[in-house]
Structure 1
């Protein structure tokens, strides 16, 4: 049997994992897989995995930590892997020299790290993320 490539907008769970968190023995020759389309994740965090700036790395990590702790779904886009992603980030930000991290909801620009940090302090994260 050939393994399928996962789709970023699909969540695939085994039947054993979905049955009320109980372990159900499965047979090696027969498996049941359930594919569920999860809500589109329009929230994107543009970041760079390659940076000499410790401040940038800390800022990126803080954004990921906050979003994860609040169970907010997002897609992380590494601009160091694709020039087109970097250009798209800068176009959405409206700044040809914008640096990561940058956050957008679909094609709507939310802001950079400073704006994110201010939204957290003012307890207006949902408004900032345009959710």
Structure 2
């Protein structure tokens, strides 16, 4: 499956831009197949993302902010959860992927 990162290319918030870059850079550095989905370019994709995020993961007010991370159509989490998994060295299981060490050991 491809990891899909929902981003907003025209966000005016520096923090959101940095978070988006952090996720994308991590995926690129670890050679994880990914796709960026720009919410500002597709109302259909934005609505799909809003509907697919589980209710318990949505903010109490407003819409979920990018970056939002999916493995195919399965919701993984937002940036805060991604960062926590990165800090605890559990990103691969967080994303629903085999670790790179396990995949390199297989023939």
Gaps of 5+ in 2: 98-107
Of 120-129 and 86-95, more deviation after overlay is shown by: 86-95
- Find out whether 1:103 has 2:63 as its counterpart: no
TM-score when normalising by structure 1: 0.66
State the distance in 1 between where 2:82 and 2:17 align. Answer: 15
**Where is the helix percentage greater, Structure 1 or Structure 2?**
2
Trace 1:1-131 onto structure 2 (pairs within 5 A): 41-94=1-54, 95=58, 97-131=63-97
Gaps of 5+ in 1: 1-40
Structure with greater contact order relative to length (CA < 8 Å, sep ≥ 6): 2
Of 70-79 and 84-93, more deviation after overlay is shown by: 84-93
Report runs of 4+ in structure 1 exceeding 3 Å deviation: none
TM-score when normalising by structure 2: 0.80
Task: Please list the CA deviations of residues 26-59 of structure 1 after superposition, one character each: whole Å capped at 9, or x if unmatched.
Answer: xxxxxxxxxxxxxxx4310000001110000000
Structure with higher Rg: it is 1
